Structure 1
Amino acid sequence: MKPTDVLPARQPATIKDIANALGLSHSTVSRALNDFPHISAETKARVREKAAELEYVVNSGARTLRHASSSLIGLVVPHSTNELSATMTRVLASRCQRAGYQLVLSMCDDDEEIELRQVKALRQARALGIIIIPAPNLLEETAQLLSSASVVQFSRSHPRLSAPAVSIDGAKGVAAAIHHLGQLGHHRIAYVGLTSDLSTGASRFAGFRRGMESCGAPIDPALVRQGPGLGEFGRTAAAGLLQSPAPPTAIVFGTTELTSGGYEAIRRAGVRLPEDLSVIGFGDPPWFRHVSPTLSTIAMSFEEAAETAISLLLRRIAEAAEGRPPEPAVSLVLDPYLIVRETTGRPRARPGF
């Protein structure tokens, strides 16, 4: 062999390899390796001998998951960096620790194929329950896997899932923000929010439409930007609105991340708040209260929502453990509230920024 030649890496032996070599079923080999009492001593000896010959190594990670199945609770989220998901992760981890459960966090970036693999892994590990922020294009196979599990939907709900849902009435919050701006005299109000493919995006845009109708102000399609809930989209959307020939006098954002990106673009443009532009954000992370001027916002108790979802899941897990039929699936919707700070004021006539 030349010094530069490299032998292909040998693939580790599997239970299937042992079963094929001995002419046994996969399940018999698995039970023999796990020392099940009804497998004969002779079969166990043959299996172990062949496993040693093939250099079979037990997948300790998978075994750990299987044996920990009585304490696993899964959390499936698009990502863990936004305020809502971060709060849910923190609250759920604390509740799991107190109750003796183990939290398994999975992130799918709203990719339905990744979501399916994560849900499948949790079901194979026999997780006691799952809290999920479902992807917009949740697959039928994922819905089937979740149909026989203790599940609670959080923030979003999907028509393919019959599981109960806990959410916050974003529509009411956005409508209240628009009403406040209308009372101040704004009519050219822009909205930067999530795509309507998401249940939360559709709901919040409906609130925008309802608020504009209550103010008697027409919606200018040029002042509406909907897309992914990412800071980069918020920056791009806000910058485009500021550069338009007829810019808005106010902007309402539909998520905390969109607010963050949009606020950065507004400050970079040198726009004065609220003299040149009124702004209402979404959520209420600490920096909203520490910037100058302080940011008006559609606030909500993410912690209350997380606690509600977890309590509901633990109740469904208890019902399953006791063999009781689950209570009918319900949707619990919590109310947001508008916090008026320093970034909203009356519009003034001007040719532009």
Structure 2
Amino acid sequence: MVSIKDVAQKANVSTATVSRVISKPEAVKEETSKKVLKAIQELNYQPNVLARQLRRLETKTILVIVPDITNTFFSKVLRGIESVAVSNGYKVILGDAGNDVEREEEYLNVLRQKQADGIVMLTARMETGVIEKFSVDYPLVLACEYIEGSTIPTVSIDNVSSARKATEYLIALGHEKIGTITGPLNVVLGKDRLKGYTQAMARHNLSVEPFLVQEGTFTFDSGYNMMMKFLALSNPPTAVFAANDEMAFGAVKAVKSRGLRVPEDVSVIGFDDIEFSAIFEPPLTTISQPTFEIGTKAMELLLKLMNEDEITRNQYILEDSLIERDSCTRNNA
């Protein structure tokens, strides 16, 4: 079945432009309109009139889907989304997927049933084809998590380079035996942050033994348990990169439970810079994401989709920063 995306590719325009040619031809340049109409005719594209009509029945409501509502990282992202939404007359409702892909898919019905006008997804774990197909007919923006090669508007940081930066910080402090507690490796953030770690180690000719990589679940408990595995080694790592702050907190607790000290015995660096990182003991060195800005940019993109305005860029990569605190120190061994 021919989709609006097929027409856009053939005419070399955006899907928003195709949509405007169909619904508001007077708003499109004549030359562009002719290209799109020719593509529609050649492909025998049949517009989804029902979906378009339903979209015009505004609810002035936005749905935001988070993978895990207990993860405090998402609070500032949500604030950013809501600040733009409210100023434009929209209210925000929250859907907690609970790290369940099936529940993620169920939330898409909120738009199908016309209970919201658009979706910002802070999780992207369902099958790529499902999200891609849905995004053709309904306004959808991805933030934080992402799909490689997708044309869906996306806002995030470069998680590979950020993780590489964190690992190289530990290397610059003289650490050579560095462990990592990854996120789930079936999730893009887990894979990308592991990739950044391995790139940094390879760049400095440091070996990554299998026992130096332990898979966590982005939770405090998994950070604690994986660090206990490191500490059980006869020659444990002198530093650990945890792929988020929650796991870093768990790792620090594990070190202390063994009567050891952070950073004197083991340096620990996290990722996300959630609010508790600054007041944790010791204050956590971490990678800070521009969470509020991720939220505001995602909502601005969603507004453009809902208004059928043209989006010139599909992917926005925002800058992260390394926050130095007290959980890392030089390795003098």
Superposed CA offset, 1:40-94 (max 9, x none): xxxxxxxxxxxxxxxxxxxxxxxxxx99843111111112222332222222233
| SS, match of residue 108 in structure 2 | helix
Residues 1:155 and 1:286: Cα distance change in structure 2 (over 3 Å): closer
In 2 relative to 1, CA 286–105 (structure 1 residues): closer, same or farther, beyond 3 Å? closer
Contact between 1:283 and 1:297, CA under 8 Å: does it hold in 2?
A: yes
Q: CA deviation at 1:211?
A: 0.9
Q: Shift of the alpha carbon at 1:316?
A: 1.9
**In the alignment, what sits opposite 1:305?**
294
Of the three residues 302, 314, 327, the one matched with 2:303 is 314
Q: Separation in 1 of the partners of 2:300 and 2:249? A: 31
Select the residue among 109, 112, 128 that pairs with 2:98: 109
Q: Does 1:341 align with 2:325?
A: yes
Report deviation, 1:290: 2.2
Match for residue 274 of structure 2? 285
CA-to-aligned-CA distance 1:160-187 (integer Å, 9 cap, x gap):
9531111112222221122122122111
2:162 equivalent among 159, 168, 173 = 173
- CA deviation profile, 1:4-27 (whole Å, cap 9, x unmatched): xxxxxxxxxxxxxxxxxxxxxxxx
- Supply the RMSD in Å over aligned alpha carbons: 2.4
Greater Cα offset, 81-90 or 247-256 = 81-90
Question: Relative to structure 1, is the Cα distance of residues 329 and 130 closer, same or farther in structure 2, using a 3 angstrom cutoff?
Answer: farther
Matched, 1:232 2:221: yes
Structure 2 matches for 1:58-73, cutoff 5 A? Answer: 69-73=58-62
C-alpha spacing 1:269/1:292, structure 2 compared with 1 (3 Å)? same
1:173 maps to a residue whose letter is S
Distance in 2 (alpha carbons) for counterparts of 1:93 and 1:68: 21
Residues 205, 127 of structure 1: CA spacing in aligned structure 2 closer, same or farther, 3 A cutoff?
same
Is the 1:298–1:338 contact (alpha carbons within 8 Å) kept by the matching residues of 2? yes
> What secondary structure is seen at the aligned counterpart in 1 of 2:182?
strand
Relative contact order (C-alpha < 8 Å, sep 6+): which is higher? 2
Amino acid at match of 1:343: S
Residue identity matched to 1:262: A
**Amino acid of the residue matched to residue 164 of structure 2?**
A
How far has the Cα of 1:139 moved from its partner? Answer: 6.6
TM norm structure 1:
0.73
- TM-score when scaled to structure 2? 0.77
The residue that corresponds to 1:260 in the other structure is 249
Does structure 2 retain, via aligned residues, the 8 Å contact 1:143–1:160?
Answer: no
Alpha-carbon shift at residue 134 of structure 1 (Å)? 3.3
Q: Which runs of 5+ in 2 are unaligned?
A: 1-54
What letter is aligned with 1:187? E
Q: Which has the larger radius of gyration?
A: 1
**Contact 1:108–1:114, Cα closer than 8 Å, also in 2:** yes
Separation of aligned partners in 2, 1:230 and 1:291: 16
Q: Deviations over 1:193-249 (max 9, x none)?
A: 212321111111111011112222111210111232222111111111112122000
Compared with structure 1, are the counterparts of its residues 310 and 67 closer, same or farther at alpha carbon in structure 2 (3 Å cutoff)?
A: closer
Q: Percentage identity across aligned positions? A: 27
Kept in 2: contact 1:88–1:306 (CA 8 A): yes
